[in-house]
Amino acid sequence: MKKAITIYTTPGCSQCVMTKNWWRKKGVEYREVDLTTSPDDFEAVKALGYMQAPVVVVNDDGDTENEKHWYGFRPDLLEEFTLAAVAA
């Protein structure tokens, strides 16, 4: 099943850039949402318990019940989900 990846970012965020570059170099598709221009998404990220960017949300083609999420530049999780996204 295809992995849907969303990266919630803010301008000037170095960890956001590093996260996007990681997946771009690996050829993994993702959707980027700028939290400074999307109040609804900012509230959704806060509801997940996060107050800093990037916040990464990965789910199986929109299956929000089983989604995984984290904040910050996390090479360990990026690698895990890179493999899952490429294998899908």
Give, in order, the Cα–Cα distances in Å from 12 to each of 18, 33, 52, 55: 11, 14, 12, 14
Q: Which distant-in-sequence residues (6+ apart) come within 8 Å of 44 by Cβ?
A: none
* Cβ–Cβ < 8 Å for 33, 6: yes
Q: Give the pLDDT of residue 36.
A: 96
Q: Name the residue range of residue 56's domain.
A: 3-87
What tens digit of pLDDT does each residue of 19-37 get?
999 999 998 889 999 999 9
Question: Would you place residue 15 in the very low, low, confident or very high pLDDT band (cuts 50, 70, 90)?
Answer: very high
Q: What mean pLDDT do residues 70-75 have?
A: 96
What tens digit of pLDDT does each residue of 35-62 get?
999 999 999 999 999 999 999 999 876 6
Here the CATH number for the domain that contains residue 73 is 3.40.30.10
The β-bridge partners of 4 are 59
Q: Omega of the bond prior to 54 within 30 degrees of 0, cis?
A: yes
